[in-house]
Amino acid sequence: MANFLLEPLANGFMQRGLAAGLLVAIVCGLLGCFVVLRGMEYIGDAISHSVLPGVVIAYIAQGNLFLGGLVSALVTAAIISALSREGKLRDSTAIGVVFTAALALGVLLISTARSYARDLSHFLFGNILGVTGGDLVFTGLLVLFVAAAIFLFFKELLVTSFDPTHARKIGIPVNAIRTGLLITLALTIVAGAQTVGVLMVTALLITPAAAASLLTKRLPRMIVYATAFAVASVFAGLYASYYLEVSSGAAIVLAASLFFAVAWVVNWARQRRMALPAT
């Protein structure tokens, strides 16, 4: 057993990959709860897809893919916010219009590249074994930032998520908090892109938090469970990808889906037991 666990770690790239994956899992578990509770799943998905044009431009210009993706994600989030704040469009409509445009721009730019770019496929589907020292430092700082922000602003995050009207009423800057969350979301998505790919990073935000929400009705506990599920998914997915030689990103996401299924069954069994008459 010990050998089974330790063997993959003999490689330096596997150690870095695992470390980066775990850091991403922690940040996704923490932040994912608020994404799910505030109904921001769709905008998260939109931001992750809109990373593409920035990455392609950075690739063509031979710049930093990471930075390109981040700028692209932030610009998209800002445009969506501006469009839906006017009140002329529903949020989901503004998101649909903007992210499909960004995605199309990305695809268009890719089609101008002469050869299909291997680095780009890493960004789309994740390449956890290509994690660099710089990626690790960035993700580590992000974990510290998100954990500190949730600790310091827990009250404000709680009340703006549960009852934004009351929050505004008592003077909390609801829009500033939403903007802060969007920026953090963009940073997290770009950080997670290396691990599971931009196409699947929102799964790591949403699925563990959704599983946690089925098991507890207290927010602090939900955050702990979601983080635990995300970490376990990265572990399980990485080992599966090593031994079965399958895509690490897909294996991680499917592991998270499996945890969700288990949580669903546990929740279903609990409700059934409660519904039964006491004998």
Partner 1 sequence: MPRLYYTRHMHTDDMSAIAHAVCLTNLTYRYPGRTRAALEGVSLCIRQGERVALLGPNGAGKSSLLKIIAGLLHPPNPDMAQVFETNIDTCHPHTSFLAQRTDVDWRFPVTVRDVVMMGRYSHLGWFARPGRDDDKAVDAALEQVGLSGLARRSIGDLSGGQQQRAFLARSLAQHARLLLLDEPFAGLDAPSQRSIMDLIRELQQQGMTVISSTHDLGSVVTGDVADRVILLNRNVVADGTPAEVMQPDVLRQAYG
Q: Which residues contact 105 (CB under 8 A, 6 or more apart)?
A: 52, 53
Sign of CA dihedral 112, 115, 119, 124: positive
Considering only residues 246-265, where is the footprint of partner 1 by CB under 8 A?
none
Task: Judge contact between 263 and 212, C-beta under 8 A.
Answer: yes
How crowded is residue 164: how many other Cβ atoms within 10 Å of its Cβ?
A: 16
Encoded one letter per residue, x for contact with partner 1 by CB under 8 A and - for no contact, window 115-154 reads -------------------------------------x--
Smallest separation, CB 231 to partner 1 (Å)? 20
Whole-angstrom distance, CA of residue 196 vs CA of residue 84 = 29
Q: Choose, by CB under 8 A, the member of 79, 98, 187, 222 that binds partner 1.
A: 222
Considering only residues 31-50, where is the footprint of partner 1 by CB under 8 A?
37
Q: Choose, by CB under 8 A, the member of 26, 172, 191, 231 that binds partner 1.
A: 172
From the list 41-49, 104-112, 216-224, 234-242, the region that binds partner 1 by CB under 8 A is 216-224
Please give the structure tokens belonging to residue 7.
């063997």
Size of the residue set binding partner 1 (CB under 8 A): 26
Residue 170 interacting with partner 1 (CB under 8 A): yes
Rg (C-alpha) for the chain, rounded Å, is 20
Task: Judge contact between 73 and 47, C-beta under 8 A.
Answer: yes
Smallest separation, CB 42 to partner 1 (Å)? 16
Whole-angstrom distance, CA of residue 184 vs CA of residue 180 = 6
Binding-site ranges for partner 1 (CB under 8 A): 37, 86-88, 152, 155-156, 158-159, 161-163, 165-166, 168-172, 213, 216-219, 221-222
